[in-house]
Amino acid sequence: MSTADLSRLALDLPPGERLELARRLVESVVTPDELNEAVAEGIRRIEDVATGRVKGLTLEEYRRALE
């Protein structure tokens, strides 16, 4: 099965299952201890936005923040 096939299948999963898959994939390639906490924090932040616990920025808000 190709990466494109796997991607299509993964994107058909419900959001919670996609988050779990993303977590497992990231954890499978990040092994250095010094990166573990940063990756874990990134995953927590993605989950916070994806589950609605935290409101993400709109594209306009994001662009303004970069100025």
Note the pLDDT of residue 31: 65
C-alpha 43/C-alpha 37 separation (Å) is 10
Whole-prediction pTM: 0.49
Confidence of residue 56 (pLDDT cuts 50, 70, 90): confident
From residue 47, alpha-carbon distances to 3, 50, 52, 64, 66 in Å are: 24, 5, 8, 24, 23
pLDDT tens digits along 12-50: 999 999 989 988 888 788 666 667 788 888 888 988 988
